[in-house]
């Protein structure tokens, strides 16, 4: 379980002292908390940039046929992200802690590598692929849908633990579980190691199909939609 300190005093660190992937919706500034631990001060980007990002997301989700299947999404406020991570902690789902502080959010710094980069490595442990998919399934079984589960929103710690980060997007609609699982499967299928697809196929047959959580044909539909859209717009891949 990820916990954040109760007292949120901090000092700013120099840019680059803590590495972080800057997203399209928020600015992330490295800070040191009163207890010496590193974190990030997260603030929403200006309204024009946010609207532009959401238009791009609309285009993507339309292309993935998510809307046509009754799906939708909304933007979680920073306060809602704090509440969301608390619900995850209560269900023993490992996420980076988020604490509300005025108009900012303080986000825990997680040591490790972004999953999208990890899977580009020659020596990537493919057990991480199974572990990642397992965390998504576990969350769904416990009533949690992360939203936007591509591999840039996941950290692999040095000991191979999976930590989910970035919860701006909340998926809506009855097909949200199938969409999120298909999204997760598609992005790990981009791993450099060609054996990753064998690992995914086996997990799909042995675990996902037996879980009774999903309409399997809908997961397959959304996975195919991801592949088709990426072939048309390959720049959308991490």
Could you tell me which residues are beta bridge partners of residue 166?
none
Please answer whether residues 95 and 88 qualify as being in contact, where contact means their C-beta atoms are separated by less than 8 angstroms: yes
- Is this model's pTM higher than 0.85 or not? yes
* Total length of the chain: 238
Residue 237's CB: how many other CB atoms inside 10 A?
A: 14
Residue 52's CB: how many other CB atoms inside 10 A?
A: 12
- Per-residue pLDDT 10s for the chain (238 aa) are 444 445 457 788 877 777 766 678 988 889 988 777 888 988 889 999 999 999 999 999 999 999 999 999 999 988 899 899 999 999 999 999 888 765 668 888 899 999 999 999 877 899 999 999 999 999 999 999 999 999 999 999 999 999 999 999 999 999 999 999 999 999 999 999 989 999 999 999 999 999 999 999 999 999 999 999 999 999 888 7
Please answer whether residues 66 and 152 qualify as being in contact, where contact means their C-beta atoms are separated by less than 8 angstroms: no
Per-domain residue ranges of the chain:
1-45+76-109, 68-74+111-238
pLDDT of res. 102 = 59
Q: What is the CATH number of domain 68-74+111-238?
A: 1.10.510.10
Distance CA 103, CA 73 (A): 22
Same CATH fold assignment for domains 1-45+76-109 and 68-74+111-238: no
Distance CA 229, CA 216 (A): 20
CATH class of 1-45+76-109: alpha beta
């Amino acid at each position: 379980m990820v916990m954040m300190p109760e007292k949120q005093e901090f000092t700013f660190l120099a840019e680059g002292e803590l590495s972080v992937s800057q997203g399209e919706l928020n600015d992330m500034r490295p800070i040191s908390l009163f207890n010496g631990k590193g974190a990030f001060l997260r603030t929403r980007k200006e309204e024009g940039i946010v609207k532009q990002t959401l238009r791009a997301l609309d285009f993507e989700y339309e292309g993935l046929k998510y809307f046509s299947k009754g799906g939708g999404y909304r933007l979680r406020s920073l306060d809602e992200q704090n509440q969301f991570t608390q619900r995850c902690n209560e269900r023993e789902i490992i996420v980076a802690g988020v604490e509300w502080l005025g108009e900012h959010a303080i986000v825990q710094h997680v040591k490790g590598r972004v999953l999208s980069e990890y899977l580009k490595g020659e020596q990537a442990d493919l057990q991480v692929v199974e572990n990642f998919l397992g965390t998504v399934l576990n969350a769904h079984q416990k009533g949690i849908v992360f939203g936007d589960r591509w591999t840039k929103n996941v950290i692999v710690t040095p000991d191979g633990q999976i930590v989910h980060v970035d919860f701006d997007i909340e998926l809506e609609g009855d097909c949200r579980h199938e969409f999120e699982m298909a999204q997760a499967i598609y992005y790990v299928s981009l791993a450099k190691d060609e054996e990753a697809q064998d690992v995914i196929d086996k997990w799909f047959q042995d675990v996902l199909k037996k879980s009774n959580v999903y309409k399997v044909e809908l997961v397959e539909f959304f996975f195919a939609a991801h592949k088709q859209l990426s072939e048309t717009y390959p720049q959308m891949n991490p």
